[in-house]
Structure 1
């Protein structure tokens, strides 16, 4: 993060040697009016807000992770606190926030997703602020807008999970980091530590942003004072995170045990984002775009270091999911915005008719590329399953006295948000419900007791994963499949997005 070297005359008229401003200092710009100063922050925020509100209900659908948020946030505080001691402590602060949201306004899917919409609008504003500080108002404005329209950003802006809020925390901590390293005072280091600590409490995998900021300091050749102050801020964040880290380590197997090692597609996507961003940064440096070096030294570590670190660790112990490092998209949007600003600045070389044609073609291409993606992320098919569709299908298929089996047991989350459907059925495998057992999905009967309960039912509904999905190897799950195969006849199978609702009857006892 290097500004241009300047020279000045002192009082005696001599010229001292070249003086390098602090590496985080922005390139001076002409005075700007209030609107021009506010535009890089306000315009991206408004764009992200509008995109987030567009189709926020996602055609009345909700997927399994959002279902967990909805269930847990509606529990009484005592039960919620008990749950966090057993599992999901990593999401504890977010669940408490959502509990407060629903206590104030139980607005269903809109209330579930509105905090994420606001979080992503705040993140877009932060991207604009960073871009404006490093490369000028136009670059900041365009970087914020690029961030707002990225399909993955639009997706998680409408997700009832913590990732949009984490992205906002990391993005604004990055802005505070810039201000702090520019020698603007201790208050910016305090703001940096607080913002990053909040982001880490919302999700611990915000912590790799510290690594990205450390790489930025090293790359920019920061002085000892800045490194020392950054280290103090890092220590404060780590110390504040220790209680959560101690609890979540004991929950790691249950929390992350479902993850696998990154596949080839994940590595290709990582390269597909990192390489073009590096090339854009190289272009900006080559054409001497204002603040290009500083932007490069901030953006590339933020895009590459957190994702690269988690993916490398995942070769040994799987920890990586792309949404865990969603905040890396800030590092993608910054060079893209600056490159657009440079390209727009060169359009004066074109004659007016050609300039108009070029702008129209560029706008048409952007809409043609982004609109299908934007429409898709607002459809039920953009997520792994649709809890609402499952509940409606069960409601249509169920009869009084029917039993229900969840295969596997964690698919109980498909019906838990809908007690008006779930309470009509006899949960054949349930030993203790989630609220009493301090778990997400409840605890189930032993295999021997489970067998007796299933065989006592004449008609039941099994909720299963789609065909081809791996089957859980646990004894209880094996027993469910074996008893249904040996003693029951399938009457009806309805496939909904991400699930199957199958009706079974006992052979020789009941008919379809």
Structure 2
């Protein structure tokens, strides 16, 4: 990645110590700083991150066993996090730093692409804007694979721009195919980047040789991911909770496309020209519209699945700001260099309440660590513990020390042994017998504000026995979770 002055002219030769840092390093460090700011979210971990935490602590053999039952779509990510946990130790920093670093790489890619296609101001503004986008700030500190996919999308798009500019070699095509395949293995919905790149090729009227090479590497990437796609269909029940599309769901994508469309108009798009619009608009629009289209077959729309489309939005915002700089240049030459920094400063102030909210525990549904501390304080050795629903066992899996001395009376087969995230529970009659054999029971469940009505027969039975034979002696609610202590009447 070459260094360029903001005026777009080639930099003069200067001694190494006096050279400016490369332009992409500014958004990279900016995004890195945003990610490190409030990284621990007041020492909280929510349920999705708890899944990463508990699986990453299993052995490779146990992870492989689990993938045959659930979460095969995240297998590569779990294996990566297992390696990091083994080397650095489990912790919040280890859990979230990969996402922070990945988003910083994505911001750098936006900067390089924008600079190449529309000048230094477009690259700088786009890279800085990327880190401030609300969706990016949310997943910037998330112990899940979506930021890594965004980084891969940025790298693959940069490689595509490189070959379209005539700089590509065989190694670039190989890297492109490998990156797209890796992203597909992290989340196969990221393959929606291929139709986005297809639109870019059509827009720019790519040469026949470019088409041939792209088709070959794209096909290889899809073939690599296809076994995962086919196998994951047997685990489709894991996304059965995603609601169908509603008009309310469409508001967010519509706003994003409107903003991106405005940026594209300011870029003055023209067919046959490699421009920010030719790259950024398909990157924004195609994944959004593609996922909405898939929802006609099965509800799948979650913004995190296509988080990488924010790369396109950032590129279009960058070119819009660069257009403003060029327009202001002749009339306000001295103020022009300050336009982008001023817009960034205003955006930081405007987004500050939202940025602070996203770095608080309340930004997520729950916190598995806070309720574990309540269990540690309320338990008495020999007490029994129940989880409703069984998925709330995640707090014990992430913080086993807090549950030491408690007997999980519903559990028949542990999560590791059963190859699941929550374990296998005994039959309702056996759980009832075990409950009646104990004087005190701790119930870990969701707080009423986020709880869903019990649907499993086991959970209905647990509630009925507690209501009929026990009385509440302590009840604590913290960050979306609840622990209630029951004593036998």
Tell me the TM-score normalised to structure 1 length: 0.87
Partner of 2:4: none
Q: Is 1:410 equivalent to 2:383 in the alignment?
A: no
What are the superposed Cα offsets for residues 421-447 of structure 1, whole Å, 9 maximum, x if unpaired? 123211121001111111111100111
Partner of 1:220: 204
What does 1:207-246 align with in structure 2 at a 5 Å threshold? 207-246=191-230
Partner of 1:392: 373
Q: Is 1:312 equivalent to 2:293 in the alignment?
A: yes
**Mapped partners of 1:263, 1:224: distance in 2:** 42
What does 1:441-480 align with in structure 2 at a 5 Å threshold? 441-467=422-448, 469-480=451-462
Please identify, of 257-266 and 187-196, the stretch whose mean Cα deviation from structure 2 is larger. Answer: 257-266
Q: Is 1:494 equivalent to 2:473 in the alignment?
A: no
**Mapped partners of 1:334, 1:356: distance in 2:** 19
Q: What is the CA RMSD across the aligned residues, in angstroms?
A: 2.5
Q: 1:135 to 1:364 in 2, by over 3 A?
A: closer
Counterpart among 89, 103, 106 of residue 106 in structure 1 = 89
**Mapped partners of 1:190, 1:44: distance in 2:** 27
Partner of 1:425: 406
Q: Per-residue deviation at 1:91?
A: 0.9
Q: Per-residue deviation at 1:159?
A: 0.9
**Mapped partners of 2:402, 2:389: distance in 1:** 19
Q: Would the aligned equivalents of 1:180 and 1:186 in 2 still touch at CA under 8 Å?
A: no
Partner of 1:340: 321
Partner of 1:264: 247
Q: Per-residue deviation at 1:181?
A: 2.9
Partner of 1:372: 353
Tell me the TM-score normalised to structure 2 length: 0.91
Q: Would the aligned equivalents of 1:40 and 1:144 in 2 still touch at CA under 8 Å?
A: no
Partner of 1:8: none
Q: Per-residue deviation at 1:154?
A: 2.1
Structure 2 residue matching 1:500: 3-state secondary structure: strand
Partner of 2:26: 43
**Mapped partners of 2:277, 2:480: distance in 1:** 41
Q: Per-residue deviation at 1:320?
A: 1.9
Partner of 1:9: none
Q: Would the aligned equivalents of 1:135 and 1:292 in 2 still touch at CA under 8 Å?
A: no
Q: Would the aligned equivalents of 1:37 and 1:137 in 2 still touch at CA under 8 Å?
A: no
Partner of 1:25: none
Q: Per-residue deviation at 1:215?
A: 2.0
Structure 1 residue matching 2:23: 3-state secondary structure: helix
Q: Give the number of the structure whose alpha-carbon radius of gyration is greater.
A: 1
What does 1:162-177 align with in structure 2 at a 5 Å threshold? 162-177=145-160
Q: 1:182 to 1:347 in 2, by over 3 A?
A: closer
Q: 1:65 to 1:502 in 2, by over 3 A?
A: same
Structure 2 residue matching 1:207: 3-state secondary structure: helix
Partner of 2:302: 321
Structure 1 residue matching 2:292: 3-state secondary structure: helix
Q: 1:149 to 1:292 in 2, by over 3 A?
A: farther
Q: Is 1:483 equivalent to 2:465 in the alignment?
A: yes
How many residues align? The count is: 476
Q: Per-residue deviation at 1:247?
A: 2.5
Please identify, of 317-326 and 357-366, the stretch whose mean Cα deviation from structure 2 is larger. Answer: 357-366
**Mapped partners of 1:456, 1:343: distance in 2:** 74
Q: Is 1:186 equivalent to 2:170 in the alignment?
A: yes
Please list every run of 5 or more consecutive structure 1 residues that lacks an aligned counterpart in the other structure: 1-27, 508-512
Counterpart among 132, 146, 153 of residue 129 in structure 2 = 146
**Mapped partners of 2:208, 2:217: distance in 1:** 14
Q: 1:142 to 1:219 in 2, by over 3 A?
A: same
**Mapped partners of 1:421, 1:319: distance in 2:** 36
Please identify, of 36-45 and 367-376, the stretch whose mean Cα deviation from structure 2 is larger. Answer: 36-45
**Mapped partners of 1:483, 1:457: distance in 2:** 12
Q: 1:356 to 1:191 in 2, by over 3 A?
A: closer
Q: Would the aligned equivalents of 1:190 and 1:233 in 2 still touch at CA under 8 Å?
A: yes
What are the superposed Cα offsets for residues 438-486 of structure 1, whole Å, 9 maximum, x if unpaired? 1111100111111111222221111122225322422112212222222
